Amino acid sequence: MIADKGGVRGEMQITIFGTGYVGLVLAAVTADAGHKVTCIDIDEKKVEGLRNGVVPIYEPGLEPLIVRNHAAGRLTFSTDARKGVAFGEIIFIAVGTPPEEDGSADLSHVLKVAATIGATMESDKIVVTKSTVPVGTADKVRARIEQEIAARGREDLTVDVASNPEFLKEGAAVLDCQKPDRIVIGVRRPGSLTEQMLRELYAPFNRNHEKIIVMDVRSAELTKYAANCLLATKISFMNEMANLAENLGADIEKVRLGIGSDPRIGYHFIYPGAGYGGSCFPKDVRALISMARDADYEPLIMKAVEGRNERQKRVIFDKIVARFGSGLSGRTFALWGLAFKPNTDDMREAPARAVLDALLAAGAKVRAYDPKAMDECRHIYGDRDGLVLCQSQEEALTGADALVVMTEWKEFLSPDFTYLRETLKEAVIFDGRNIYEPATIARHGLTLHAIGRTTEKAADA
């Protein structure tokens, strides 16, 4: 068994496999708290870039943390897995779990890391799954490590595997990691050295009040999915109500205020819009559906959540067709916002992509702008016919018939409405995030099509 060194520990040596979104944030924040952290990745170009301060994702506050702690020697990056295994008292697995065609999570990267740990470890280890993984993954990781240990004839080595799911919001991940609202730790034995070590690791982030919640491993694994799927459910429910409100002549934003004032409901995640996207909600909803089916349980609510969201992504395009007709050849649309949410460059399953794809397929031209996601858009779409990537929101308006807003970046909240009216050929705005007040838009001579709100036509129309 791993030796109990006793007492309250200070600096720890931490190894993190994976330099994606979760791994980099965890590495930067724990290094900034004084721990020695090494990140392992198989991508040599990515690792070399990180050593030179090139951070492959945009997340507010992340780059300076990485640069500062790397310069201080607390944070290193390597492709040498063997050295990484030897270095870490605690080894986090934070590699990707991309979805399979049936929605289930692909664990090949996780289990490959487990095999590497078992094949190279020379002392007892604590391994922690940080990636979002299906219930039962920690058991599979431990089995794979022990299989490799047995193959080497090293019965003297032991490993314990815990679950420590992340609850980070893209765009606020650094702050979420520094000041978490909860720290979930799943262990096989309550009060074990593994629990003690993880408590000590997170002690700097657990000072004001007790945030650590200890439970069994499988419950910890399910907690992550349950949290994300409940938030996705709130979003899809509000989108369902928004569409109904529109048909009934009600205003969903007033409904939102009416129900949000109930403390049992609250205001969080009840903003209607064009659907959710990103790396977590869509993938986790599908993965939970897959897990449920594997457990011979039909997840009716989750299926409805996913179905509502997929249809919601087409609502704005449907409004465009209702206004301009299905033949959009010869039409040009300014598109503000490509990322799935503000303060990130992440376009994975972004609702803006559904609208962009539909417009291009219908023969329209699109002039797109996003404050941070332009490089990601170039990577995804390349030199796509009909798509022009612009350097500013004003440039995107040039020659456009109408404006489509799909991400609620702050710089989009208070545009020059007079300039919009004079620049757009049709003086029409399609608001996929309900960031504009219909009456305000109408007073400026523009027509607004929003989500769950009666269309306000220009005052002079």
Q: Residues 177-219: pLDDT tens digits?
A: 999 999 999 999 999 999 999 999 999 999 888 999 999 999 9
According to the model, what pLDDT value does residue 9 have? 56
Q: Is 452 exposed, middle or buried (0-12, 13-18, 19+ CB in 10 A)?
A: buried
CB crowding 191-211: b at 16 or more within 10 Å, else e: ebbbbbbbbbbbeebbeeeee
Q: How far apart are CA 376 and CA 32, in angstroms?
A: 28
Specify whether the CB–CB gap between 29 and 174 falls below 8 A.
yes
The pair of structure tokens assigned to 93 is: 């697995």
Choose the catalytic residue: 39, 177, 229, 280: 280
Taking the alpha carbons of 313, 318, 323, 329 in that order, is the dihedral positive or negative? Answer: positive
Q: How far apart are CA 280 and CA 232, in angstroms?
A: 10
Q: How far is CA 371 from the centre of its chain?
A: 18
The pair of structure tokens assigned to 246 is: 């529109």
According to the model, what pLDDT value does residue 459 have? 58
How do strand 125-129 and strand 159-163 relate by DSSP bridges?
parallel
Question: Would you put residue 366 in left (φ > 0), alpha (ψ -120 to 50) or beta?
Answer: beta
Per-residue CA distances from 257 to 172, 179, 268, 441 (Å) = 24, 28, 11, 21
Q: Is there a catalytic annotation at residue 280?
A: yes
Residue ranges of the chain with per-residue pLDDT less than 70: 1-9, 456-461
Q: Which residue has the tokens 């993984």?
A: 133
